Amino acid sequence: MLRMRGDSSKSCPCGSSQPYAACCGRYLDAGEAAASAEALMRARYVAYILLREDYLLATWHVSARPARLDLAQDVPMQWTGLQLRRHEHTDADHAVVEFVARYKVNGRAHRLHELSRFVREAYDDSAEAIRLRSGPGDPVAGMGKSFLCQGCHGTEGVSDVPEIPNLAGQYGNYIAKQVRNFQSGIRSHQIMNAMAATVENDADLADIGAYFASQPKMEGDHTSDDPVGKAIFLHGDQSRKRLACISCHGVNGKGAAPGTSMYPVLGGQKEEYIHKQLIDFRAGNRTNSPGGIMNIMARTLTDAEIDALANYLSVQ
């Protein structure tokens, strides 16, 4: 599928009269989070014009997000205008936007009149975000139960060893799944297979996961943004059928939503660890991602792209 970029020097297609780069380009190309439901509505409209499936999927609420889009295969549509009729916050995290979008198909004019509902997800370290990402376990009980884990992964889930991953702020259910995979042999690592065998039951595992999930989310040093890694993460490469990483791993790799643990937090993770996992996924030495999606995606990456992506994610 052809993915286009907006012309930064021209007025934004959303109709705001601002230059694209200062309007929706901030969100589609620069990776900024939309500041309001109205801004997100405008950005999503422009994403349809530019065939930006990566942005549309990344900003679709997880409860209704389709598995994929095929905009290039749909009946060609010429979008001709967006009118926002109402933008109303119902509370701090919910809003509605009423809009009319006009378009043409084979020269015939159509209009889409809709009332869209928006939800602001808690991506930070608020009490609600921590509760959601911790899963069913008890983080207080998990502190003592994770004593052996802390020896390598750090007391607060921040490792001192480049090859050992941070666990701070990782989804509790994701941590639990990885331990189960080490227990069953789906994942193989000499030390982790032995450590996983010491966890006796699911309740203890849930508590351990909750403890690390409840810690402040892992954070990089923000020293630089590798431009190649950033482009891969934000936009993917449709010519190689590579999805944008942001679609599953969320803004800055900090997770798609606190209650969605299928895909891990990567922003702020150890660069060496990310690099090793991408190499293993590409080679087929690791195969435990949902539907094998990471094997499919990693096979499209060159060595240089893996280096760039690992570097970009590690500093977030």
Print pLDDT tens along the chain (316 aa): 334 455 666 899 999 988 998 899 988 887 777 878 899 999 999 999 999 888 888 888 877 778 778 887 777 889 999 999 999 888 767 899 999 999 999 999 999 999 999 987 655 678 888 998 999 999 999 999 999 999 999 999 999 999 999 999 999 999 999 999 999 999 999 999 999 999 999 999 999 999 999 999 999 998 888 999 999 998 888 788 888 898 788 878 998 776 678 899 999 999 999 999 999 999 999 999 988 999 999 999 999 999 999 999 999 9
| Structure token digits, residue 245 | 């990483």
**Residue 307 resides in a domain:** yes
CATH code of residue 69: 3.10.450.50
Tell me how many degrees the CA angle 132-133-137 measures, rounded to the nearest 5.
85
Q: 115: helix, coil or strand? A: strand
Please indicate, yes or no, whether residues 114 and 28 belong to a single structural domain of this protein: yes
Beta strands in the chain (DSSP E): 78-91, 94-105, 108-119
Q: Structure tokens of 105? A: 């198909």
Do 214 and 131 contact (CB within 8 A), yes or no? no
43: in domain: yes
DSSP state of 70: -
Co-location of 108 and 54 in the same domain:
yes
Do 153 and 77 lie in a common domain? no
185 within a domain of the structure (yes/no): yes
Residue 10 domain-assigned? no
The length of the chain, given as a count of residues: 316
- Per the CB < 8 A criterion, the answer to whether 139 and 189 are in contact is no
Radius of gyration in angstroms for the set of CA atoms belonging to the chain, rounded to a whole number:
21
Both 305 and 288 in one domain: the answer is yes
In a domain, 222, yes or no: no
- Taking alpha carbons only, the member of 205, 253, 214 closest to residue 230 is 253
In a domain, 272, yes or no: yes
- 111-149 in b/e burial notation, b at 16+ Cβ within 10 A? eeeeeeebebbbbeeeeebbbbbbbebbbebbbebbeeb
Q: Which residues form the domain of 198?
A: 127-213
- Asked whether residue 218 is domain-assigned, the answer is no
CATH of the domain at 141: 1.10.760.10
Contacts of 300 (CB under 8 A, 6+ apart): 237, 240, 241, 242
Give the integer Cα–Cα distance in Å for 71 and 50. 10
**Cα distance between residue 218 and residue 175, in whole Å:** 14
Contact 66, 115 (CB under 8 A): no
From 213, 238, 264, give the residue that closes a domain. Answer: 213
Question: Which is nearest to 48 in space by CA: 102, 115, 128?
Answer: 102
